Amino acid sequence: MKKDLVVPGEEICIVEEFLPVNGAYDDGNGNVRSAYIGAPEYDVNNHLVSVKKLIERPRLPTVDDNVLALVIDVKDNVGTCKIFEIEGYGRLNVLFTGKLHVTQVSTMYIKSLYDVIRNGDIIRARVLNHNPPYLLSIKGREYGVIRALCSQCLSPLLLKGFTLYCPRCRREEKRKVAFKYYIKGRY
């Protein structure tokens, strides 16, 4: 009987029926077993069997997911980020590209993204579509920058009241800060 799915070590058939090739092996007792979790593929004409390894598909971002992303490029109208985590699903093995358009920052008019995000920032954003590049929104107080670095010395910026400042350079920087900014300064 032919099987649809096998686990490592599971018997697929006997050597007299099919000879093992990729992903299958002869156990020395005349049985063919699987090396992987996968689907056996039978070559009836040549009496060969192989196992096609099943690769677990990663969870892809989709509409309304909340994600964390690292900002890698900022222009006046559009910022580019690398999505590294979907909230509730942990870190991603693959980084996905996200795009934040200046119109997706606030319900109010924003002139330039430079006042909102900068390279090296980590943002919490909402996903607007289900195909890469993922379009992001940071509208709403729970979205925006959750960690920012000083653009001069790269120290983490502290949140003091509603402004971000660098304790080293003793200067303030503009961002659209999320409600839960990670590093709170002393008031």
Contact flag: residue 119 with Zn ion (CB under 5 A): no
CB of 182 to Zn ion, least distance (A): 17
Which one-letter DSSP state was computed for residue 14? E
> How far is Cα 184 from Cα 9, in angstroms, rounded to an integer?
54
Measured between alpha carbons, how far is 137 from 142 in angstroms, rounded to an integer?
Answer: 11
Token pair belonging to 140: 């709403």
| Footprint (CB under 5 A) of Zn ion, residues 139-168 | 150, 152-153, 155, 166, 168
Shortest CB 149 distance to Zn ion, Å: 8
- For Zn ion (CB under 5 A), the number of binding residues is 7
Binding mask 58-97 for Zn ion (x = CB under 5 A): ----------------------------------------
Strand-pair partners of 101: 78
For residue 114, the minimal CB distance to Zn ion (Å) is 17
CB of 81 to Zn ion, least distance (A): 22
* Other beta carbons less than 10 A from residue 63's beta carbon: 11
Nearer of residues 46 and 152 to Zn ion, judged by Cβ: 152
For the bound state, the minimum distance from the C-beta of residue 89 to Zn ion, rounded and expressed in Å, comes to 34
Residue 137's nearest CA partner among 85, 187, 86, 63 is 63
Q: Which is nearer to Zn ion, 3 or 156 (CB)?
A: 156
- 37, 8 contact by CB (below 8 A): yes
Strand bridging mode 48-53 / 19-20: parallel
Catalog residues that contact Zn ion under the rule CB under 5 A: 150, 152-153, 155, 166, 168-169
